[in-house]
Structure 1
Amino acid sequence: MVERYLWLGRRPLHLRLRFLQGESTGSYVTRLAARNLRPVEQVLASVGVGPMPVEPQYTEMYASRYARERLADLSGCSVAELSLRLVSLRDEFLMPDGSADDWEWPWDARAGFIVQACSLCAASRGTRCPAWLILPDPWHVCLRHGRWTDNSRSLQCPYIDLRDHPGVVRAQQRLNRVRKRLGYVAARWVEADALSVLTCVRYLENPSRAGEREWAVLAARVGEQRARPVAQFGMLARLAWDMAWLEERRRAGRLSAADSRAWLQRVGRQRGFAFRDPLTHWISGHRPVRHARQASDSGAEGPGETEVAGQEAAPLASLQDLTCLPWVRMPNEMDRLFL
């Protein structure tokens, strides 16, 4: 094991770096080195010992507890702030104590997806080079600049301009409202179930043959794999909005069996006959919640169903990991370019 010197990383680098929301550790370290006109290998040498760095668009960097402390010193911030800003440096993602190296770049990210950051957002934070995010899902909608980015790693077509797809912007705004109504964690569970339902009904499985010129043109330009989630996004948001209506009342103890039946009939008419069976399956696992007061009045011991709001999710848990339904294929998991 190579000896680590106590003075390594104690002094912060001359030029600080502003964080990007959701940025990967590998991207941040690479940008920090570029900001200070240093090779990333030299910056990492001030953190500890480990393998040669990998380009951040391919995988994520994970660090030991020791390396996290040194990187916080170099960044000029506390360990708590660094862990808050860079999710992959939180305790659950740290390398095991006693590891020979202080960092690693595994062939695949342990959790989440590497998604290219909006270049205009990155520029507002003082960087002109590509930056990368580590996110629960393989896409990101920037409402500020109207851009859709994903985990394709394409530098020739790094984003999809949403000025040509205003429905996607409205869909993200609708999902944001769902999160305000239910809370972030509960909304993520509803979005996961909505995506699973779309998988079950094979909604827009092939965008180029969907009969909509907008999506056919997009599929021809960026490929069907990248176009599919964009094409699905509007329906995903509408279905999540429908399901949030029922889930909000269920969690509040205001949902009756008659309400569930009426909801199913209404949504089935609006979304199409193919949605009825998977939504019926979903409702069967989301029966009305009985709160403690209701349970004590009836002599029952407690709620018959676990409330979604009480379930915790890992910070990088994807929609396919969160859904309670059996149809879990994500719409555009890209193959690694180097495999």
Structure 2
Amino acid sequence: MLDDGWHVQAVCTLCLAAKGVFTQARHWVPKSTRLCLRHGRWTDTYHAQFDVRLPPEIIQAQRDHRHLVREHGWQSVEVAMRQATGWCWRWWDSRRFHQERDRRLKLLIPSGGGTYREDPRLIASSYPDVIALTGLLASPKLRNLPFTGRERDFRVFVSEVRARAAPGYRYEAAGVADPLVRWIEEERYYRTLPNHPFPMPNEPRTHNPDTLEDLTRRLNARLAPESDDQRQCAICGTPLKDAHPRRVCPVNGVTGLVSWVRFGCG
């Protein structure tokens, strides 16, 4: 059975023609598949397929994408790719760091042709930059560099951003609306929280919640005759005013043991 790391995509028309099939078809492929490496055709859209061999970076980006999935897992790469795509498009919308993308786009657009926001040729042209940044964000080691507290590590991270997708990027002059500045501030805050929100799938957990066995062991210890907690509610620890310990809690009005079993221990 296929997991969520697969999706349905159009089959390369040249691959079909080689088998004597001249109708369109679709098949299951890994989510890291954007094009047919055999024929160098972009297949990751519902539009007509087109050749992407002229800008060789697009072909290499497909190979890099698959390597990242093998190294970090498709879930981590999927999360990192969404973040990288957001960074790139915010920069490009503000007319920054778009020169390489535009150069590739000119090689894919026929003479005199135009483009639009959802144009698959525009998406294909942006693919190398997005994958380059994805490699930075999918790596737990590289992703952690801005948060080690060492100035050298922070400079290494920014230099990686420059080399991969944003030539000439300066963090100090970026401004609060810059996607990288916002990401660092948000990530720094999230990392102060136990089990912080939006963790990467390959990120080590900083807090492990109690298992059911741990909770059961804790309850049994509290209910034991020799326990010092005999006159406290099993749920909230409130002192019981009933003569019979472990009976009625003055806070929640129910028997501590029954309440724990039915509703769970707080």
The corresponding residue for 1:184 is: 74
- Cα distance in 2 between the residues matched to 1:126 and 1:232: 33
Q: How does 1:237-276 map to 2 (within 5 A)?
A: 237-245=131-139, 247-248=140-141, 256-258=148-150, 261-270=154-163, 271-272=166-167, 273=169
Tell me if 1:175 matches 2:76.
no
Q: What is the aligned counterpart of 1:309 among 193, 201, 224?
A: 201
* Change over 3 Å in CA distance of 1:303–1:125 after alignment to 2: farther
Q: Is 2:22 the counterpart of 1:132?
A: no
Pick aligned residue for 1:235 from 124, 129, 133: 129
Q: Partners of 1:235 and 1:220 in 2: how far apart?
A: 22
Contact 1:264/1:280 (CA < 8 Å) preserved in 2? no
The aligned residue for residue 119 of structure 1 is: 13
Instruction: Please report how far the alpha carbon of residue 233 of structure 1 lies from its aligned counterpart in structure 2 after TM superposition.
Output: 1.1
The answer to whether the 8 A contact 2:35-2:62 is kept is yes
SS at match of 2:201: helix
Which amino acid counterpart does residue 131 of structure 2 have in structure 1? A
Alpha-carbon distance, 1:238 to partner: 1.3
Residue of structure 1 in register with 2:49 after alignment: 159
Counterparts of 1:301 and 1:164, CA distance in 2: 47
Check whether the contact 1:208–1:215 (CA below 8 A) recurs between aligned residues: no
Deviation of the 1:159 alpha carbon? 1.9
Distance 1:233 1:149, change over 3 A: same
For the residues of structure 2 that align with 1:183 and 1:248, how far apart are their CA atoms? 15
Q: Structure 1 pair 260/227, CA: closer, same or farther in 2 (3 Å)?
A: same
> Cα offset for 1:265?
2.8
Counterpart residue identity of residue 164, structure 1: L
- Distance, in Å, in 1 between the alignment partners of 2:84 and 2:106 is 24
**2: CA distance, partners of 1:231 / 1:204:** 17
| Structure-1 separation of matches of 2:129 and 2:75 | 20
Shift of 1:304: 3.7
> Which amino acid in 2 is paired with 1:226?
P
How far the C-alpha of 1:227 sits from its partner, in A, is 1.9
Q: Deviations over 1:182-218 (max 9, x none)?
A: 210011000111011111011697x999763x52242
Q: What code does the residue aligned with 1:257 have?
A: G
The equivalent of 2:36 in structure 1 is: 142
- Structure 1: 5+ residue runs without aligned partners? 1-80, 88-111, 291-299, 312-339
Q: Quote the sequence identity (%).
A: 20
1:226 aligns with 2:116: no
User: SS where residue 177 of structure 1 aligns?
Assistant: helix
Structure 1 residue identity aligned to 2:36: C
Compare 195-204 and 163-172 and name the one that shifted more: 195-204
Who is 2:186 aligned against? 285
1:288 to 1:260, Cα distance in 2 relative to 1, 3 A: farther
Q: Is the 8 A contact 1:208 1:217 kept in 2?
A: no
CA distance 1:304–1:263, shift in 2 (3 Å): farther
TM-superposed CA distance for 1:255, in Å, is 5.7
Distance 1:198 1:208, change over 3 A: closer
Alpha carbons 2:12, 2:36 under 8 Å: kept? yes
Please list the CA deviations of residues 67-107 of structure 1 after superposition, one character each: whole Å capped at 9, or x if unmatched: xxxxxxxxxxxxxx6xx49x8xxxxxxxxxxxxxxxxxxxx
Count of aligned residue pairs for this structure pair? 186
In 2, Cα distance between equivalents of 1:190 and 1:179: 11
CA distance in 1, matches of 2:147, 2:99: 40
Query: Counterparts of 1:150 and 1:177 in 2: how far apart (Å)?
Result: 18
Alignment partners' CA distance in 2, 1:152 and 1:199: 21
Distance in 2, matches of 1:152 and 1:121, equals: 17
Q: Tell me the secondary structure at the aligned position of residue 266 of structure 1.
A: helix
The whole-number CA distance in structure 1 between the counterparts of 2:101 and 2:200 is 34
SS at 2:35 equivalent: strand
Quote the Cα distance in structure 2 between the aligned partners of 1:235 and 1:181: 19
Q: Which structure exhibits the higher relative contact order, with contacts defined as CA atoms closer than 8 Å and separated by 6 or more residues?
A: 1
Where in structure 2 are there 5+ consecutive unaligned residues?
204-266
CA RMSD of aligned residues (A): 4.4
Aligned residue number for residue 104 of structure 1: none
